[in-house]
Amino acid sequence: VQGCTGILSLLSDRIDGEVLDAAGQSLRVISNFAVGYNNVDIAEAARRGIAVGNTPDVLTDATADIAVALLLASARRLREGWESVVSGRWKTWEPMGWVGQDLRGKTLGIIGMGRIGQAVAERLVHGWAMQLLYTSRSPKPEVDSQLGGRHVTLEQLLRDSDFVSVHLSLNAQTRHVINGDALRWAKPTCVLVNTARGEVIDQAALCDALREGKLFAAGLDVCDPEPLPTDSPLLKLPNCLVLPHIGSATVSARNAMAQRAADNLIAGIHGKPLPYPVPLPACS
């Protein structure tokens, strides 16, 4: 980065004070090819007057679709079914074989009711007549009126939900917010889906809960670390389905992300306001 005017970063690139020091005075903009920007030290960027951009909105539908895919796959035990087919354990049709959870009319808990959380809620409330609980910094009247949502505490959400989908951005307050204590509130029949950031969940605690039958299943598009080591205990659990962070992996979403990232980068290099800026903290 030495001498660069702009950095195009991926969510897997940590852009911290050390990188910014290496870039030096010439750096004007960090354009992150993602909507999440937990990989960028925005306080350091703000202190140095460096603009930071992200790629909001254009991956909302793609990510919401993956959350629903994981929820269905985990509820209906697709991983176990597929493994039974390829291993030859599928011998016959069984009345009790691979029995999973129904979706219709169940309670959905959305942790973090931002754009993606809302898109997931729309799909499941309209498609499967689910009842909606959610957490967010404040109640969202439009969610309450259009989707019948109810703003609740994390504890209430975990106690009452049959399906939980996590949509929190990662920061110091949300790291491991779903820890062993929180998981103890969940129903043993609960299906947990995470398409946000792996570090929001205490993965060791999740692994224990899944192994001990305290949760029915988990579907994870994100984990900690990424890539997940192939000897991770999570991968040994039949009730855990892990994907390689593909929430936004559709042709149109990735093209649109690339376009937004390029627009931010070019604007920043020319010293213009970014079209998709990340709000930076005020400097003292």
Q: Which one is catalytic: 126, 151, 245, 270?
A: 245
**Is the distance from CB of 198 to CB of 220 less than 8 angstroms?**
yes
Q: Does 59 bind ligand DGY (CB under 6 A)?
A: yes
Least distance to ligand DGY, CB of residue 125, Å: 23
Of residues 59 and 240, the one with the C-beta less far from ligand DGY: 59
The answer to whether residue 11 forms part of the interface with ligand DGY (CB under 6 A) is yes
Q: Closest CB to ligand DGY among 67 and 209? A: 67
The one segment of 16-24, 101-109, 243-251, 266-274 that binds ligand DGY by CB under 6 A: 243-251
**Residue 247 touching ligand DGY (CB under 6 A):** yes
The smaller minimum CB distance to ligand DGY, of residues 9 and 135, is found at 9
**Nearest approach, Cβ of 170 to ligand DGY (angstroms)?**
9
Whether 176 is catalytic: no
Site residue total, ligand DGY (CB under 6 A): 8
| Residue 165 is a binding residue for ligand DGY (CB under 6 A) | no
Q: Does 35 bind ligand DGY (CB under 6 A)?
A: yes
Q: How far is the CB of 129 from ligand DGY (least distance, A)?
A: 29
> Can you tell me which residue has the tokens 């009319």?
105
- CA 69 vs. chain centroid, Å, equals 13
The interface region with ligand DGY, picked from 42-50, 102-110, 244-252, 265-273 by CB under 6 A, is 244-252
Q: How far is the CB of 10 from ligand DGY (least distance, A)?
A: 9
Residues serving a catalytic function are 245
In the complex, which residues of this chain contact ligand DGY (CB under 6 A)?
Answer: 11, 34-36, 59, 245, 247-248
